[in-house]
A = this chain, B = another copy of it.
């Protein structure tokens, strides 16, 4: 059920963008118990003047490869799981497509389980 939105600079290859999505999905599978096939994601590409990010906040040196990930997820994970997710995303994106740990920003938006409908107008996760 996570819905993932990746924000990046315009101009990266299809393979690069695909690698971001695939590895975020795999990190969610590994740390957030996301079921197989549960993959719903978009990439928003920005020209530089529509994508502003601090190049130094928290003494982290960000570059033009900066990726801002906003993940909407159910509110069922512990703080430890969240920390594990962040680390796993960073590890995986370092390998493919090769993004520095400094360039990965992650934000989780949490919602109730009944706040999802995967089709047919049903609330498949409601109790």
Contact = CB atoms under 8 A, between A and B. Distances in A.
A17 interface: yes
Interface in A1-31: 3, 7, 14, 17-18, 21
A115 B109 contact: yes
- Interface class of chain A by DSSP: mixed
Given A39-B52, A53-B40, A57-B35, A83 B119 contact: no
B53 A39 contact: yes
A37 B62 CA distance: 12
A41 to B, nearest CB: 4
B37 A54 contact: yes
A95 interface: no
